[in-house]
Every structure is written in structure tokens, then in C-alpha cells.
Amino acid sequence: MFKRILGKAITYFLLILCGLVMVVPFLWMVSTAMKSQTDINSGSVGFIPYSNVTYYHNEGKREKAKIVTQDKEFSVINIYSEDGKTFKRSYVKVPNSSLTFERKIRFNFNNFSEAFSKVPFGRYFINTIFVSLCVLLGVLISSSLAAYAFARMRFKGRDFIFYLFISMMIVPQPIYLIPSYYLLTKIGWINTYWALIVPWVANIFSIFLLRQQFKTIPKDLFDAAVIDGCSRFGILWKIILPISKPILATTAIFSIIGSWNSFMWPLVMTSSENIRVLQVGLSYFAQESSSHTALLMSASTFSIAPLLILFLFAQRQIISSFVTSGLKE
């Protein structure tokens, strides 16, 4: 009995520990994103964002204040009104007992908007969404058509073409990156949306996944449709695709995650700010403002947020997609 409880306790301890290791970087990112830069620079590492708040004491009243400049004798201060919207400037002698400081928990949500406007992140978001949607649409169309032919039609060279495609899956992106860059330069696509979209509108893995699914559909269904006078395209559109919704969703999930997180390809193929995607924009931002830790964490937070929200809502579907596709390979 005691042994079992101990076993359970150790199991849960390890699982929680591992869960924390997985999640803590994200929690720390969000909390650092809401700290003030002075707080970070003064060596605050914890998870709760603090800020120093200055108060000015005058005739028994306590008013919020901010030190503007300070020299050996005087501090110039702004004294804020109750609602914090207006202030009057004043000065006090140093050292002065009418000023007190308090360390207060304060969430600097301003960091998000400041980071967002520092470089055109809005533009990067739109570019990323545009590219992701175009690629998604292309992948769904081209893969359904090809998978249908590979699964349900007989034609010369079918198996050869299929295995040729499959064998290319083991060639990783870094291998063909350099020649792709050369070819896209030759056709003048560098720095255009074409370079970000067109090479990715066909996806071998999606074709493979869909073909496996289409093969499991019973033949009777097709025969019945043919008797009803359904054309080949009609069969795909009206019968196969509707009953393959789960696998199409899986394909769509992989496509969206892939496009959203794609980094090396757009880094190499684009340089102008107009068509820069989010990940590349974030990487440039990280180089330019490496000392603005709070802003960097803010930018990382809002770059991760859309996919993270998608994941949290559809996590069951997403995890099982990864598992089934992983085991099918």
C-alpha cells in the first residue's frame, strides 16, 4: 500500500516537473514581456513584473510622481493628478523626505504595443497570413487531385511516379536550398510572394497521407456513384472529400503550422520589408533590439500567440494528427 502511494507520488512529481520545464519558458517569456526594462536591467529574474513607483507627499496627501531629471541638489519631478492624465512640474531638494519609493507589481502592457509599432509587425502578420492561406489552398487542391489519381486510377507509370515523389521526402530542405535560390534568382522570383508560395503549393507528404486515406474507401461506393452517372471529378468532390474531412483537417493543420513557422526559406528568398514574413521579421527585430529584452519578449509572445491559441482549441485533433501521421510513415 505504502509502496503504491510512493510510486504514484514519484510518477506525478516527475510528470509535473517535466510539464513545468516545458511550460516555464513560455510563462517566463510572458512575464518578462510585461516587465519594465529598468526592472530587468536591475537584475530582476523572477516571474512577477515589478516597477518602482515614486510618491510625492504634500500636506498629508500622497500623489503619484515621476522623476524627470536629477542632479546633486535638485530633482525635477512630474506630479500626476488623481486620474493620472495630467501632471504639473515641480522640483524638490535632494535628499528630500517628501519623496518615497515603493516596489509595486505592475503589468506593462504598453510593451506589446511599443514592440508592435517599432517595426511593421502588422505588415509581417498580414504577409504571413496571406502566404499561409495561399499555400493551404494550393496544397489542399493539388494534393486531393494527385492523391485521387494515385489511389483510384490506373495509368502507366503510376507507381514509378508515386515512389519517385516519396523518395524525395527524405531529401531535407538544406540540400536543395542553394540550387533553389539560384533557380529563383534566374526566374526573377527572389523578393516576391511567388518565391514564398509557389514552391510550397504541392506537398508530397500530404499527397501520401490523402492517398492512404482514399485507398480505404470501399469500392462499392464508387460503383454506385458511376451507376448514378457521377463523373470522376464528381466522385472526388461529392463522395471522397466529404468523407475524408478528418484527414483533410490533418493536412491543413500541418500546412498552417509549416507555413507559419517556416524560417530558413523566407530568410533566404526575401530581403525587402514589404513581403517579409513574421518569423524573419522577428529575427531581424531580435538582432536590432537585442538590448530591449522586454520588447523582444513581447514580440515573441505575439508571434507565438496565434498558433498557440489554435493549438489550445484544437489540441486533441492536432496531437492525434501528429501521432497518426508519425506512425504511417
Partner 1 sequence: MKPKKDLNLFPYLYILPAAIIIIAFRLIPIILSFILSFFKWTIKGPEKFIGLINYSQLLRDPGFWQSLTNTFYLVIFVVPITLILSLLFANLLNRTTKLSGLFRTSYFIPTVTSLVAISIVWKLIFSPQNGLMNHILGFFGIHGLGWLSESRGIFTLLLGAMGLKIPAFLGGPSLALCAIIIVCIWRSLGYNTIIYLAGLQNIPEVYYEAAEIDGASKIKQFFKITIPLISPTTFYVLIMTTIVTFQVFAQVYMMTGPPVGGPLGTTKVIVYYIFEKGIDAQEFSYASAIALVLFIIIFALTMLQKRLEKKVQY
Residue 67 or 145 with smaller CB distance to partner 1: 145
Comparison of 23 and 243: residue with beta carbon closer to partner 1: 23
302 half-sphere exposure, CB direction, 13 A CA radius: 22
We find the least distance from the C-beta atom of residue 241 to partner 1, in angstroms, to be 13
CA distance 312 to 290: 30
Q: Shortest gap between Cβ of 122 and partner 1 (angstroms)?
A: 17
Is the Cα dihedral 23, 26, 29, 31 positive or negative?
A: negative
CB nearer to partner 1: pick between 32 and 111: 32
Give the shortest CB-129-to-partner 1 separation in angstroms: 14
Q: What are the phi and psi torsion angles at 194 (to 5°)?
A: -50, -45
Sheet containing strand 87-93, strands side by side: 87-93, 74-80, 61-70, 50-58, 99-105
- Closest approach of partner 1 to the CB of residue 271, in Å: 11
Q: Which is nearer to partner 1, 61 or 155 (CB)?
A: 155
Which one, 70 or 288, has the nearer CB to partner 1? Answer: 288
CB 299 within 8 A of CB 32: no
CB of 252 to partner 1, least distance (A): 14
DSSP secondary structure code for residue 329 in this structure: -
Q: How far from the centroid of its chain's Cα atoms is residue 175's Cα? A: 25
